[in-house]
Amino acid sequence: MFSRIAAAYALLDGVRRLLVNLLFLLTLVTLAVVFWVASEAPNLPKGTLLRIDLVGEVKESGPAEPSFMLSMFGQDSFEENTRLADVVDALDRAAHDDRIAGVVLRVDDLAGAGMASIREIGAAIDRYRQTSGHQVWTWSISYTQPQYLVAAHADHVGIHPMGDAIVKGLSATTFYWGPLLNAAGLEVEVHKAGAFKSAPEIFTSGRPSAESLAAQKSYMDDAWAGLVSRLEARRGLVNGTVEKFIAGIAKDGTAEKSLSVFFREAGLIDELETRDAYLQKLADKYAGGQVKDLKAIDATAYLAATETVSAGDTVAVLIAEGEITGMPELGGMTPDGINGVIDEIQEDPKVKALVVRVNSLGGDAVAAELIRARLVEYKKKTGNPVIISMGDTAASGGYWIATAGDRIVADPLSITGSIGVFAMSVHAEGLREELKVGRGGYRTTPLADFGNPAAAPGDVERRLIEGGVSRTYADFKKLVAESRGMSVEEVERVAQGRVWTGAQAVKFGLADAQGGMDEALKLACREAKLPAETASVLWEPVDTSWRGALRAFLQSRAGAAVGKVLEVRQALDALAAQSNRPLAWAPFEPTL
């Protein structure tokens, strides 16, 4: 009996050892194959074109990684968006690669991009053209404004003869929920510090305030002037061409000719041509006149083929993007997510400088402070410089985080500033009274009902909230003053919740220099006394939980109707979750 058990055990143990050995062997083979593939030089013949496809929205972060459950949908990622760094890196690498003969830019599927992202892509295209001496080509049936503002940096901009294109200006249309919430019996009380801190107006009013409109005008007029001047300079047009073009469209309409013809006559488009004619021009220049002989590689494959691993010192690039919140279930940027990545960066001895790319309109002030404090701690423990690079937005709570930087580089078109604080109390006292529902019960202290959505806040509660807002605003101004070498009085003059462009921020002392990620990396190398060519390594928090994957899936796949429902639900969830808390949110984001 025991001999049989022993034999069975020996057999099972033998099978176990065999499986373990096979698994170990398989791991070795896999690693060998990966190493061999990575070490192989990419097989790119000379004369290859780099194809850059801008898809979805341009973002700082990469797409969410799907969980095992959602991978059953058969997708590698659920977001069809374009990472800004990938576009810039591909162009910068290609500029020094003699196998790349030119760039073909596709903007047909570009859904949207912030103004700073558009400027940064345009700057990368210009660097490629100037460094390599090669051309950038683009063609589309039609161009939206964001698509055209990117395409305008190409040497050849083509459009179908029956296509449409538009350059129209900026707008900041916001939905105001105050009347709807009041009709539903919900009341929102706002306590704010900063006359221009207009973000909570969307919950209390039916229209923007005079202060909000003044702030929008200041920011958007400056940003639009910057966009137009760069566009006219790139296209070799005289100042005022774009405004004259828009005025002509508004006056005469397009009854007799298409928008594409207007564009061509204004010098904003190079050719009215079919796709076949465009491809033939490419073939004539790069393939001996034979379209079938055109050779191209897309940016994703090109980046993979030219990726190198640095064995020396590096500059870490940390992506800090999204609404700042202490609650991961709401999505966005959290202290746990960001600070966890900072912990990993701190443990890497090769990292000699840190660039934090901030792209956020703000959020929870406490969460922003936790991230700022961790960056300060990182500087003290490592001695490494921290450079802040502002993306499309680095306002309010985003600017709070930026105060941790040794230097701040702001894109000229970044939305920044909004140094102010507010808090909201949400209750349904009016609805209860309207429905004639009584309310009562025993309370052990006068504050026992604090935060109860069924009751309006009392005088004591209001004083507590107002005190929290005032102290947080004072702390905010003190942080700015200490980090920027300003007095609190000087900060107050540019604070009060007012939004500025990156160019204005430099003028007022809220940032050190204008520029994009390229300039921030150069500054990081100088501050750390590193060679200018030191490699940069991207670090970003990735939400691999099933909630994160499900959120990404719903937002990108569930359709417009579900998307709108999610937006409203998330707004209400955020409103309820942040009740009575000091918030540092920017008031608006312009639409291109």
Q: How far apart are CA 389 and CA 356, in angstroms?
A: 6
536 among known catalytic residues = no
Query: Which residue's entry shows tokens 């443990």?
Result: 347
Type of residue at 114: G
Are the CB atoms for 353 and 385 separated by under 8 Å? yes
Are the CB atoms for 413 and 116 separated by under 8 Å? yes
Phi, psi of 61 (to 5 degrees): -85, 155
Phi, psi of 545 (to 5 degrees): -70, 165
Strand 56-59's sheet: what is its strand order?
82-83, 56-59, 110-112
Strand 421-427's sheet: what is its strand order?
187-193, 421-427, 583-585, 362-364
Query: In the numeric block, which tokens belong to residue 269?
Result: 């488009």
Question: Any idea what DSSP says for residue 220?
Answer: H
Of 61, 198, 396, 556, which is the active-site residue?
Answer: 396
Question: Any idea what DSSP says for residue 343?
Answer: H
Query: In the numeric block, which tokens belong to residue 103?
Result: 């760039």
Q: How far apart are CA 317 and CA 359, in angstroms?
A: 13
Q: How far apart are CA 158 and CA 140, in angstroms?
A: 7
360 among known catalytic residues = no
Rounded (10°) angle between helices 241-252 and 259-266: 150
Task: Tell me the pairing of strands 386-395 and 351-360.
Answer: parallel
562-572 burial code (b ≥16 CB/10 A, e <16): eeeeeeeebee
Of 192, 197, 352, 477, which is the active-site residue?
Answer: 197
Q: Which distant-in-sequence residues (6+ apart) come within 8 Å of 531 by Cβ?
A: 525
Instruction: Please identify every residue annotated as catalytic.
Output: 197, 396
